[in-house]
Amino acid sequence: MEKTISSQEALELLKEGNKRYVQGTMLQKDFNSKRKELLGFQKPFAIILSCSDSRVVPEFIFDTNIGELFVIRNAGNLAVDKTILGSLEYGAAHLHSALIVILAHQSCGAVCASCDCRGKSQEGNIKYIVKAIAPAAKKSNYEKEKAIIESAKNTAAIILKKSKIISDLYNKGKLNIVVGYYSFEDGSVKFF
């Protein structure tokens, strides 16, 4: 009964959902019955590593229901911490989601801060976020919108480099990683 959704199919579902979100034609959802249906299991079709920005809500942006997305969030959509890598591995290897989306967004405060201070913040633990984005900021000549995409691509590369579980699945063609860029202006997500 369990249908495996390929990475291409998952990407199509996200694109279709985002189209509905942009057009304001989101599907009617019955959270009560869905919650009960998923009492004993979950089978999300995609893993989203998104920024914590309160305006970036993956479940809304992709017009999904309960149980459809495995979402990990932190400021700057980074994968520096091992618990983030572990969460991604759990989604990929145990829940069998075949697609990871690094969801970046317009005017990301974390990336903008890293560009503004040239990666040299001293503030509390925020400095670790700024520092993690610094190579992408520098490579983009501190041009913020460019750095946002570059940093997300960097995150994808880091995941493949630091997670053997994910890189093995990727090399076998069982999983794909893409970068998404969410526009505040029109609500669209462009995939790279």
Q: How far is the CB of 102 from Zn ion (least distance, A)?
A: 12
Does residue number 108 form part of the binding site for Zn ion (CB under 5 A)? yes
- Spatial separation of the C-alpha atoms in residues 81 and 84, rounded to whole Å: 5
How far is the first Cα of the chain from the last one, in angstroms, to the nearest whole number? 32
Span from 10-18, 100-108, 132-140, 170-178 in contact with Zn ion (CB under 5 A): 100-108
* 16 vs 81 by CB, closer to Zn ion: 81
> Using CB atoms within 10 A of its CB, is residue 82 exposed (0-12), middle (13-18) or buried (19+)?
exposed
User: Nearest-CA neighbor of 74 among 142, 152, 136?
Assistant: 152
Q: How far is the CB of 182 from Zn ion (least distance, A)?
A: 9
Span from 45-53, 79-87, 113-121, 178-186 in contact with Zn ion (CB under 5 A): 45-53
How many residues are listed for the chain in this entry?
192
| The binder of Zn ion chosen from 53, 63, 89, 150 (CB under 5 A) | 53
Helical (H) or strand (E) element with 103: strand 99-105
- CA 105 from chain centre, in angstroms, equals 10
23 token code pair:
């057009």
| The binder of Zn ion chosen from 10, 48, 51, 72 (CB under 5 A) | 51
Number of residues forming the site for Zn ion (CB under 5 A) = 3
* 148 vs 177 by CB, closer to Zn ion: 148
* 175 vs 179 by CB, closer to Zn ion: 179
Span from 24-32, 37-45, 46-54, 130-138 in contact with Zn ion (CB under 5 A): 46-54
146 token code pair:
């460019």
Binding residues (CB under 5 A) for Zn ion: these are 51, 53, 108
